């Protein structure tokens, strides 16, 4: 009985971590981007908010979200001890939590910095960003495979599929843009919007996932 109570409390705490973490992360980078003098939400990356005198706000945002996402994964490990996504999905979300956390202290270089002038911390940030953006849509689809066959989770399979498609489509465009000079010229004024079109659907999915976990927790009590 004591073990069941501890398990229930862990899942509840973890769900709240996912819910609060995803909502807070998006809210902070949107509000800070709106208020920051000289910052353009449409053309500049989220990570660019970590630069300058007020950069500590976004750095802390990365650190807090990475920590809360990791806590969320602990509840997921309990919720899905076996079956589809029990190992692969957990591994992906754990890597994502670490990637987001480390993106805080390893601040990006200013946008348009030539590769031969990149700093060590900027290079590490770029590598972390590449991993994070690759794994966000993949992790959604990994869990979608579980949700569509698990009766307890089928209620969010539609949300998961839709958000996964949006996240993946934006990610493909974002990746192609980073590798093509012609696309960079064409979308130079929309870098920030396209990047947010990858991040926000992933955060909405984490939020929906966390809400569903809270409901599952309430029903099991």
Angle at Cα 39 formed by Cα 37 and Cα 43, nearest 5°?
160
| In contact, 153 and 8? CB cutoff 8 Å | no
Q: What does the pLDDT read at residue 4?
A: 56
- Give per-residue pLDDT as tens, 163-214: 999 999 999 999 998 777 787 878 888 999 999 999 999 999 999 999 999 9
Taking the model in full, what pTM does it have? 0.93
The domain limits of the chain are 2-220
CA dist., res. 72 & res. 19, Å (int) = 9
| Greatest Cα-to-Cα distance within the chain, rounded to the nearest angstrom | 62
- Pull the structure tokens for residue 176: 């192609």
DSSP, res 106? S
Residues 17/76, Cβ–Cβ less than 8 Å:
no
The pLDDT averaged over each successive group of 10 residues in the chain (221 residues) is 63 95 98 94 95 96 98 94 88 98 95 86 94 97 95 95 98 88 82 96 98 84 57
Rg (CA), the chain: 18
């Amino acid at each position: 009985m004591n073990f069941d109570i501890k398990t229930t409390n862990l899942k509840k705490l973890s769900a709240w971590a996912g819910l609060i973490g995803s909502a807070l992360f998006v809210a902070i980078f949107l509000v800070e981007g709106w208020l920051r003098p000289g910052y353009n939400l449409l053309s500049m990356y989220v990570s660019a908010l970590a630069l300058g005198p007020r950069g500590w706000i976004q750095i802390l945002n990365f650190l807090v979200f990475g920590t809360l996402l990791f806590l969320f994964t602990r509840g997921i490990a309990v919720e899905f001890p076996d079956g589809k996504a029990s190992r692969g999905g957990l591994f992906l979300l754990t890597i994502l939590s670490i990637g987001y956390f480390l993106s805080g202290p390893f601040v990006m270089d200013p946008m348009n910095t030539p590769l031969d002038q990149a700093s060590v911390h900027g290079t590490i940030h770029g590598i972390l960003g590449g991993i994070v953006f690759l794994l966000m849509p993949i992790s959604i689809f990994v869990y979608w495979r579980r949700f569509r066959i698990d009766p307890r989770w089928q209620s969010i399979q539609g949300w998961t599929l839709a958000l996964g498609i949006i996240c993946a489509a934006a990610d493909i465009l974002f990746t192609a843009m980073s590798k093509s000079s012609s696309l960079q010229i064409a979308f130079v004024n929309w870098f920030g919007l396209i990047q947010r079109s990858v991040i926000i659907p992933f955060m909405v999915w984490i939020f929906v996932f966390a809400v569903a976990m809270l409901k599952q927790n309430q029903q099991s009590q």
